[in-house]
Amino acid sequence: MSTQPPALSHFQAATRVVIAPGRAAAALAVELPRVACARWCVVADRGLAENGGLDRLLRALPRDAAPVLELVGEDPDAETIGRLVAQARDRGSDAVIAIGGGSGLCAGKAVAIGLANPGPLAPHAGHDRLERPPAPCLAIPTTAGSGSEVSEVVILHQADGGPHLMIRGRGYAPRVAILDGEVMRTLPTRPMLLAALDALAHAYEALWSRGADRFTDAFAFSAARQLREALPPALDGDAAARQQLIEASAMANYACGNSELATVHAMSSAPEVHLPHGYQTGVLLPHVARRIADVLPAAVQAEIEALEPLYAKVGFVSRFAPGELDEAGLEAVARAGIENPLSSNDPRPPTFEELRTLLREAGAGDR
Ligand SMILES: [Zn+2]
């Protein structure tokens, strides 16, 4: 709900979303034959394989239908993706099942890009830069946060710590996303909380980004409300709430993928800062929201007022712990907040000094 809508806005929801509470394995077996390809391969998070979750998801598939490639750790870089693409080609795969949190899904989507576009990925960074659309990709999120399963964006970290590579374009989103909250049953509460705070930031930034329109509002308001409702019981182990959370996370991404993100995500993009993405967005969201609340419509202000009680309920403090973000980190985050073009989507774009002040209020620079 922007106060200054652009002349043209858009809404695209390209991914087929399959709602499959407790039935992801069965849904996978039904969906795979619907996509024309020679052979699937699986790109997945290492943690999921280690706790047996990967075997449970693949149990309904015929043997050797989809070989599992090298497992993926946190924040995969372009080099890792290059290896995975080579492995997929060796096995005759031309389509990808991406399973995991943000890292596993991004890696799978990047492999789909690499299968259709030989050579290094870096030259494809930017918007609509691929020569050919990515190979078919089916995504199963195992956290409710990134919404990457319905997103046309792939973000890759660089091994040398340089700026993240973003590859984005029409037709780059997965063909199918299977949403099953049961895959989060064994997820510890901290990663579940941080992922959900990221989804919350996606929904809220979609509410006030300059690219917001009535379509994105429909998804963003619903996602914000459902994330708030579902997060506390989901953290307490409620199965229905887990399903609500994973659906709301995809909705939040449909909202922000069309409206665009804003200052919270601009500030969370500093490559020098290695705090978890969901933690950074979770800390920053209430501070950024307070800075702009007075220029936002009453309905969005009401959403902002609901943040503090939610944070209290889930025991999350919107303040960096002492020593967590030193002076250099503070400068890096403020600089990213200004230099990343996402901050221009802010209804009142910030100055560098305003961001430094905001960061001090959020505990940055405390020893
Ligand atoms: Zn995010």
Is-contact 260 210, C-beta < 8 A?
Answer: yes
pLDDT confidence tier of residue 345, bands split at 50, 70 and 90: very high
Ligand 1 centroid – CA 245 distance (Å): 15
Q: Tell me the average pLDDT of the chain.
A: 94
Residues 6 or more apart whose Cβ sits within 8 Å of residue 54:
42, 44, 48, 68, 99
Ligand 1 centroid – CA 48 distance (Å): 21
Ligand 1 centroid – CA 198 distance (Å): 5
pLDDT at 2 over 70: no
Q: Give the pLDDT mean for 101-115.
A: 96
pLDDT of residue 75: 84
- Which residues face 100 on adjacent strands? 141
Ligand 1 centroid – CA 166 distance (Å): 13
Q: Which residues of 19-43 are buried (b: 16+ CB within 10 A; e: fewer)?
A: ebbebbbebbbebbeeeebeebbbb
Ligand 1 centroid – CA 31 distance (Å): 28
Ligand 1 centroid – CA 92 distance (Å): 34
Q: How far is CA 299 from the centre of its chain?
A: 25
pLDDT of residue 358: 97
Helix (H) or strand (E) segment spanning residue 204: helix 189-208
Is-contact 48 54, C-beta < 8 A?
Answer: yes
Is-contact 50 100, C-beta < 8 A?
Answer: no
Ligand 1 centroid – CA 146 distance (Å): 6
Ligand 1 centroid – CA 194 distance (Å): 10
- Which residues face 72 on adjacent strands? 45
Taking only the tens place, the pLDDT of each residue in 10-63 is 899 999 999 999 999 999 999 999 999 999 999 999 999 999 999 999 999 988
Strands (E), 70-158: 95-100, 126-127, 137-141, 153-156
Ligand 1 centroid – CA 201 distance (Å): 7
pLDDT of residue 228: 98
C-alpha–C-alpha distance, residues 63 and 254, integer Å: 34
Strands (E), the chain: 16-19, 40-44, 95-100, 126-127, 137-141, 153-156, 165-168, 176-179
C-alpha–C-alpha distance, residues 46 and 203, integer Å: 28
pLDDT confidence tier of residue 204, bands split at 50, 70 and 90: very high
Pairing of strands 16-19, 176-179: parallel
Ligand 1 centroid – CA 202 distance (Å): 6
pLDDT at 308 over 80: yes
pLDDT of residue 10: 84
pLDDT at 5 over 70: no
Ligand 1 centroid – CA 197 distance (Å): 9
| Global pTM exceeds 0.75 | yes
pLDDT at 4 over 90: no
Write the burial class of residue 109 (CB in 10 Å: 0-12 exposed, 13-18 middle, 19+ buried).
buried
Q: Give the pLDDT mean for 72-79.
A: 89
C-alpha–C-alpha distance, residues 288 and 346, integer Å: 10
